[in-house]
A and B are shown apart, each in its own frame.
Chain A
Amino acid sequence: MTTKNEKIKNSLNEAIEMTGSEAMIRSLVAEGVDTIFGYPGGAIMPIYDALYDYGHAVKHVLVRHEQGAVHAAQGYARVSGKVGVCFATSGPGATNLITGIADAMIDSTPLVCVTGQVTSGLLGTDAFQESDVIGISMPITKWNYQITSPEEIPEAIAKAFYIASTGRPGPVLLDITKDAQFGKLQFSYEKCTKIRSYVPEFPTDKKHLKKAADLINAAKKPYLIYGQGILLSGAEKELLSFIGKTGIPAASTLLGISALPSDHPLNMGMLGMHGNYAPNIKTNECDVLIAIGMRFDDRVTGNINTYAKQAKVIHIEIDPAEIDKNIKTEVAILGDAKHALRLLATLVENKQHQEWVNEFLLARTKEEDKVIINDLKPSKPGLTMGEVVRLSTNLTDNKAVIVTDVGQNQMAAARYARFNQTRSWVTSGGLGTMGFGLPAAIGAKFGAPEKEVILFAGDGGIQMTIQELGTISQEKLPVKIVVLNNDFLGMVRQWQELFFEKRYSFTEITSPDFVKLASAYGIPGATVSDRKDLGLAMKSMIDCKGPYLLEVKIEQEDNIFPMIPAGATVSRCLLGSDEL
């Protein structure tokens, strides 16, 4: 007997008459969509009505706010490598997606966002719940399109998935008028494999590869920095064997975390404003800098006029618009990181750079002595974010998916979480969206149900999207939520302390009783404020079969170090406020 899913697949090639709404759902099924995050409303009701019959094929997760839907779709995409899908209605439903779409655009996350729209005859009349979502989302989508007739649906969906997932991935928005949902079409589905005006990746130039290999082979102090491009192209193995062969020390951007196991001897940690000491200062000491799948964001480079001036820069990048955008390169290799690394690996020599690696290790010791020891083995009574994060990954054998919100909690997690599996790190990088964490953790759990998903959020950020506890509760979703509560908007407070003469302007924040609140949603939880209780509390959280909220009251005025002050050079990576 064939299942209904197989029937759908089998019937894709013969045209059948159906409504635009049903065609929409069938097209999504044909693209392999198994989870949709969304919220119904007037202008998308026909699609929800069609969805009612497809519960066996697609899981729909009802969020509590459309921002939750888009962040959940992001979390899902980041851990699964698939395209995240979300639904929202017209007007406010659509505009509530905007923050997440902007986040996905800057962090190259593949999304297809479907929004309902008023009937085509009402377009431009200021109809009820009409907003120009195509216009609004234009600068923050890789592509967007308004569907006004049912016949356009299959092709538009096929293009949307092709564009979202190929090349440098990104969000696509499809706005579909209510009459296109109600109308009938002869449905058949064909995947998109080519668009004349769009080249997802350019072929890698052999001459440039050779030039890069020559530079690498001649280098005395080569240094490799990588970003999310490694994860997006699935180049983890290629990266591992490349640094294994060349003996080149490597460091990641915030979004590159988990592409390389944390305990790899050549993994030197994280770059950037609150990255590790060695990776930052060595940027200005290396002779060849190999940047792969990263875009030289200002949080990584600091002052670009004093960034790696002594080095010859090789940039391996899929997006031509990123080449020479921020940092001028000696050799630019256009193309997919996996493909380029494979080819480059055949041209480079087996090498060791032990002395150079030792320099990194020496710098690491400096950071350990001045910063890390105080974060992981503090002598003062107050709990640190670092020790909480490290304990959680220790207890999960470095296999958990770690999701963060934005701010100090995020930087502590980036610095102290350990990973030995790829796609285990979900954070909002480019946009720095507070409120990202809780819904992204929901999506991550749906994207990797077999993995432990642990969220670290601050007391500020979690309150921006705290309504999603309702989604977790309804889905009985085993997400582990750690609220690192310091009664402050910690990162802003840190800047006020360091750069605004401790004038704590509106950074003190009061919170509800998080454990009671979780309990109101039927989610168990506990609070700890004492080091002696932390281990047991963390273990109870991880052992809990369902969702759990652990509030950890941490030291109120701890700072994240190292820190490169905004606009300073990467060489000025401070290990404490005494160095300011």
Chain B
Amino acid sequence: MKQEYIISAYSENHIGLLNRITIIFTRRKVNIESLTVSESALAGISKFTIVVNEEKEKVVNIVRQIEKQIEVLKAFYHTNEEMIFQEIALYKVPTQALMDSDQIEKMIRSHNARILEITKEYTVIEKTGHKEETQALFDGLNQFGVLQFIRSGRVAITRSPIERLSEFLRERDSLLDKMEKKS
């Protein structure tokens, strides 16, 4: 059964790795629903957060292929329930629409959104949340005409109390040291 999975991969920050990772999906004709890459808490290590809608078996296979890339340190997969995640959306609406009624202001309040910038012509609103939430605000604002809209890829964090990466790096260091000594 297909469902949403969040794949997280930690890697060295090297040129070309994004391509190496995305072609693993392309080759299996799996669509990437969202992709976020940024530096992790540890300098020089990047974190990929990739959302797919797929069967578990395929996700396991993909995660192993990602981990097989030389410069990938570790890859995990989680269901949505296992992670806390957010997306951010920006909306540009005509400032006149805010002037004409209090509808937009009410919407901003009820959706816990905020205004980033107001000019004579337009106003930029920001909202973070799950896709359904940012979409709901879009649908609301669009009654007044949304001039521009953008939604980010997902960022996600596990529910476990420690960063899995630092734990993992400690284990990896001792494993490689042991192997080096043996050879």
A interface list, Cβ under 8 A from B:
134-135, 138-139, 142-144, 146, 163, 193-203, 319-321, 324-325
Contacts and interface: CB of A to CB of B under 8 A. Distances in A.
B80 interface: no
A135 B60 CA distance: 25
A164 to B, nearest CB: 11
A163 B180 contact: no
B64 A320 contact: yes
A146 B172 CA distance: 27
Interface string B62-104: 0011011011110000000000000000000000000000000
Given A194-B179, A321-B61, 19 more contacts: A135-B19, A139-B23, A142-B70, A143-B71, A163-B70, A193-B180, A195-B70, A196-B172, A197-B11, A197-B70, A197-B72, A202-B175, A319-B68, A320-B67, A320-B68, A321-B65, A321-B68, A324-B60, A325-B64
B71 A197 contact: yes
A519 to B, nearest CB: 46
A325 B175 CA distance: 25
A163 B11 CA distance: 17
A381 B6 CA distance: 65
Contacts of A143: 70-71
5 contacts: A143-B71, A193-B180, A193-B183, A319-B68, A325-B64
B20 interface: yes
B136 to A, nearest CB: 40
A196 B175 contact: no
B4 interface: no
Contacts of A324: 60
Interface residues on B, range: 20 to 34
B172 A199 contact: yes
B12 interface: yes
B27 A203 contact: no
B92 to A, nearest CB: 33
B1 interface: no
A196 to B, nearest CB: 7
A138 B19 contact: yes
Given A193-B183, A321-B65, A325-B61, A199 B175 contact: yes
In the complex, which of the residues B175, B178, B179, B180 has the most CB atoms of chain A within 10 Å of its own CB atom? B179
B176 interface: yes
B161 interface: no
A143 B14 CA distance: 12
A202 B64 CA distance: 14
A321 B62 CA distance: 9
Nearest to A202: B175
A364 to B, nearest CB: 37
A576 B182 CA distance: 53
Nearest to A319: B68
Interface string B6-17: 000001100110
B16 A138 contact: yes
Contacts of A193: 180, 183
Contacts of A194: 176, 179-180
Considering the complex of A and B, which 7 residue pairs feature the smallest CB-CB distances, nearest first?
A: A321-B64, A143-B70, A197-B73, A321-B68, A198-B70, A139-B23, A197-B71
Contact of A203 (B61, B67, B73, B175): B175
Nearest to A162: B70
Given A135-B19, A138-B19, A138-B20, A197 B27 contact: no
In the complex, which of the residues B12, B15, B61, B176 has the most CB atoms of chain A within 10 Å of its own CB atom? B176
Nearest to A142: B70
Contacts of B176: 194, 196, 199
A320 B15 CA distance: 25
A297 to B, nearest CB: 15
A389 B74 CA distance: 48
A325 B12 CA distance: 26
A134 B16 contact: yes
Contacts of A319: 68
